[in-house]
Amino acid sequence: PPGRKVLIVYAHQEPKSLNGSLKRVAVEELSKQGCSVTVSDLYAMHFEPRATRNDIVDCLHNSDEFNYGVETWEAYKRGCLSNDLIEEQKKVQEADLLIFQFPLYWFSMPAIMKGWMDRVLLQGFAHEFPNCYDSGLLKNKLALFSFTTGGSKEMYAKGGINGDIRCLLWPMQHGIMHFCGVKVLAPHICFAPEYVSEEKRKEMLIAWAQRLKTLWKEEPINCSPEWYFK
């Protein structure tokens, strides 16, 4: 719907890749609906994945012993985080929907995207115990993980060699997004695009565009262990 804001956090090195095309389709389709779409293209931005002392721009709270979690929490309250973090947090704050677009690396997200999670979703900004899970600080937002795999759908089935794909989503969807209060839409998975025909890859893009047309009508998944491990 017009006026909705979407942030696409995108991690792929090649614009001509299927991930690049999925990102482009999302920008086109959502813009067509009147949404305003922002893209954080992590590789193009040379986004720093490492959580370091450089993320705090003034004096440390405790200069004797560096504790990243404590220091960034304090710096967030003082408005003293580095500019790249303030930028990303602003994009997250404004977004109604976060789409994460990436190729699955080793049953997880690429390091550059994990680094985005580590550095952007800080205490004080995204969560603050006991304000986590349903009371996380980013409640009223939606997230969707859209990714490609190397293995086929069969390999990621319950009895398959890689195990149930849903188990891999537990740390990402539950441990990060739900922890911060974000409601999660069903993931969008393109299985083994490198091993299918050009025709099939086109169908994958069409299916994604179709889904995006009615995305705002979707109900979030049930945010409980049952969804993942039943």
d(CA 64, CA 206): 55
Residue 113 CA from chain centroid, whole number: 8
pLDDT of residue 1: 73
Bridge partners (DSSP) of residue 36 are 5
Q: CA–CA separation, 225 vs 197, rounded Å? A: 36
At 54 the three-state DSSP class reads helix
Answer for the pair 26, 208: CB distance below 8 angstroms, yes or no: yes
How high is the pLDDT of residue 109? 98
Mean pLDDT of the region 176-191: 98
End-to-end distance of the chain based on CA atoms, in angstroms?
34
CB 212 within 8 Å of CB 170 = no
DSSP H or E run through 8: strand 5-10
Each residue of 109-129: pLDDT tens digit?
Answer: 999 999 999 999 999 999 999
CA trace torsion 23, 29, 35, 36 (10° rounding): 40
With contact defined as beta carbons under 8 Å apart, do 32 and 65 qualify? no
pLDDT tens for each residue of 135-175: 999 999 999 999 999 999 999 999 999 999 999 999 999 99
Domains of the chain with bracketed CATH:
5-229 (3.40.50.360)
CA distance 120 to 136: 15
Q: Are strands 5-10 and 183-184 parallel, antiparallel or unpaired?
A: unpaired
Q: Tell me, what's the pLDDT at 111? A: 98
pLDDT in tens, 31-87: 999 999 999 999 999 999 999 999 999 989 999 999 999 999 999 999 999 999 999
pLDDT in tens, 83-105: 999 999 999 999 999 999 999 99
